[in-house]
Chains A and B, each alone.
Chain A
Amino acid sequence: MRKIIVPKPKNDSLLAQLGSLYKTFMSTKNKEDLEFDLSLLDWIYPLLILPLSAYINNTHSTYKINSSNRIKTYLETINFPNGIDSISSFQRKIQKHKSYIPISVLRREEGAKRERLESLFSEKVYEILGNISGAQNAVCYPIAELVTNIFEHSKKDVGFIFGQFYPTKNYLDICIVDYGRGFAGAYKEEKNLKLSDIEAISEAMKGNSVKPEKERGYGIWTSKKIICDVLNGGEFIMISGSAGLVSGNKKERLVSFPNFYWQGVIVAYRIPRPTGVLDITPFLE
């Protein structure tokens, strides 16, 4: 099994995390079994840790870390790499480790139980951000829309979600991952459109849904707007196949990733702690 050393991000920015993710998977083959060496890491970076978790769960890959590495305990706390998929396990974890959110695995067949697990995740995120009255809609909306896309579009029955708060910096990173067919795959299978990954991401952002109803197709765009505009300076990264969208600081960039391929979709975003009421209604219509 090929060994991959996961490089430590240069800093804790989302872009630096993206850089580490890119270097980790660069030149690997899709679905290749790998051993990930996490020994260089000193923090749980969601945009790195959750795709690794999803990849390990979908292949026969493994990981290793020095027992002296300080994040070894944190990885156990968040249940890396398997995650937790039951309400009772989630509740036990957050009781024991009040400021950590475990990696949560959402399974389609669980039905309402899956919904309640996701509900617990959203409520925990809201609590960690301070339970600011009037901000719950803005906090919950992107999680809800981006997770529902896994079960509507990916053709996979499992999704992964994770959140990490940075207490000294007052912001929270959320990552939502699937190992499904990705945007290009969805457009090809549902609309017989052969698009590159960059073109497919572009179509999704323009609201061109693969579903027939005219009023569908706005979930990703509105989520990104809420994160970047309503949530006062949030940042948003979305990766599918060999391309990605990076939004934030009033910039919107499409990027190709040479020698890299993610089977499915990764969304990672950063939101500062809300300070008051946040109105998302202009983005709902």
Chain B
Amino acid sequence: MKNIKKEKKTSINIANLLAPIISSRDIIDILEKFIKRTDTQSVDLDFINVKFISRSVAHALLLMKENLRTKKAISFVNVNKDVAEMLRAVAANRIVPKSQKPKFNPEKININSLLKEALT
């Protein structure tokens, strides 16, 4: 009978290390430093109890995963529906970036006219 060697893996609880709602890109630097200090090649980022991540954080996570791919195999586990959707949307945009810039055609108005509206 073959002995199946179980690959060693580190699991990092993201809500405990960072926060249950993660918004700022620079916070992922903390995570990256933590990952680099692990002694296993496989690392699971456990998103249990993470309720939301911003688009900026999703982007930073995907970049980090790419940058570390030669040294660490990173997986995102226990992601809720909202977090999964954010990661998927940002990943899709990285592969096929938006070709059209947002439409922005504002009216120009002077302050006095604008403030008159506040009185109506």
Contact = CB atoms under 8 A, between A and B. Distances in A.
Contacts of B59: 213, 215-216
B92 A246 contact: no
A19 B107 contact: no
Nearest to B119: A10
B52 A140 contact: yes
Given A115-B27, A218-B102, A255 B90 contact: no
A119 B19 contact: yes
Interface string B15-30: 0011111111111001
The secondary structure that dominates the B interface is mixed
A215 B114 CA distance: 34
B11 to A, nearest CB: 18
B60 to A, nearest CB: 10
A119 B109 contact: no
A285 B93 contact: yes
Interface size class of A (residues with CB under 8 A): 35 or more
Contacts of B90: 215, 284
A254 B109 contact: yes
Interface majority SS on A: helix, strand, loop or mixed? helix
A116 B51 CA distance: 12
Given A137-B52, A285-B93, A254 B106 contact: yes
B107 A251 contact: yes
Contact of A214 (B56, B86, B97, B115): B97
Interface string A265-283: 0000000000000000100
Nearest to B58: A284
A169 to B, nearest CB: 16
A144 B57 CA distance: 9
Nearest to A137: B82
Given A253-B106, A254-B108, A284-B90, A112 B20 contact: no
Contacts of B117: 15
A233 interface: no
B104 A148 contact: no
A205 to B, nearest CB: 4
**Chain A CB within 10 Å — which of B93, B97, B98, B102 has the most?**
B102
A245 B53 CA distance: 26
A118 B19 contact: yes
Pairs A-B, 4 closest by C-beta atoms: A144-B23, A144-B54, A284-B89, A15-B118
5 contacts: A108-B26, A119-B20, A122-B21, A136-B82, A144-B24
